[in-house]
Amino acid sequence: MAPQDALTGWDDKDNAEAYVAFTRTHPMYNATSRDLACRGELIDADLVVDLCGGAGATARAILGLVPDRARVVSVDSSGAMQRVGRRTLSDPRLSWITAPAEQLAEHVPDSSVDAVVCNSAIWKTDTLAVFAGVARVLRPGGRFIFNIGGGFAGVHHPDEHTVRTGPSLNTLIHQVAARDHGYTPPSKNKGTAPKLPLKTVTTELAAAGLAVVGTEVTAQHGTMAEKKAWLSIPVFARPAGGGFTHAQRMEILDAAYALTTPDTVTVTSWLVVVAQRPTDRS
């Protein structure tokens, strides 16, 4: 079935199918999921939450680390993503809750969770509300592990500068859209602050009663071919504005990709944060 000529968001069947197809073929989400899950100290966990879990890529990584007795709960607001997840990931230890991340504490008992893991989505949420909910459901000593895209966090791994060999595919897409369609890219204000820097994250976590116990800027290495596949998923297709249909965005993507070499290495930076509910909290 051809993609719809609109960006209808995450709760769209075509987008969910495209997203899951990407996770099966390319390592990005599986690699970042394993990285986060390994930081959760899950070997003795009884209950783990995969927050903003989508179709279950991170839940799969968690299930590979927790003991057989453990339960994993995947929470996401997209019914479409979870329907695909239920079809492609069957494990009796895994249950699905369709709800926004901000409503986590309404669906999981207080002080019952050993770890909450959130991959590639925390900046899309109301972080103050989410952090408060996570603090409620974590047991004392429980961990909250999440990552923030480098652009949102205002961080860059050194590999971004040492590996880059030319313009990014996003840059080429905007150039092609301007050249062939009269598109005017949004102006970049160099003085614009990042949406979710570590200082803000630390302050908001502390307000919720959580303490940062570790941070790291990591680099996810891929290829231009993988980046093209990622930008083919409807919610990620570019340009985001301009009134383009999905078909037009794919034409622009193909034209931009033709200006690249498929095996050119790409680097995506992530700020990884590990927080914890103090053990002495009353």
pLDDT of residue 189: 67
Which position has the token pair 């622009």?
Answer: 252
pLDDT of residue 116: 98
pLDDT of residue 7: 39
| pLDDT averaged per 10 residues, the chain (length 282) | 47 93 92 97 97 96 97 97 94 97 98 98 96 98 98 94 84 96 82 90 98 97 95 94 93 97 94 94 45
pLDDT of residue 143: 98
pLDDT of residue 185: 84
What is the value of pTM for the model shown? Answer: 0.93
pLDDT of residue 3: 33
Q: Using CA atoms, how far apart are residues 137 and 140, in angstroms rounded to an integer?
A: 10
Domain ranges of the chain: 13-156+190-222+268-276
pLDDT of residue 161: 83
Q: Tens digits of per-residue pLDDT, 187-235?
A: 776 667 899 999 999 999 999 999 999 999 999 999 999 999 999 999 9
Taking every pair of Cα atoms in the chain, the longest distance, rounded to a whole number of angstroms, is 62
The fold of the 13-156+190-222+268-276 domain, in CATH, is Rossmann fold (3.40.50)
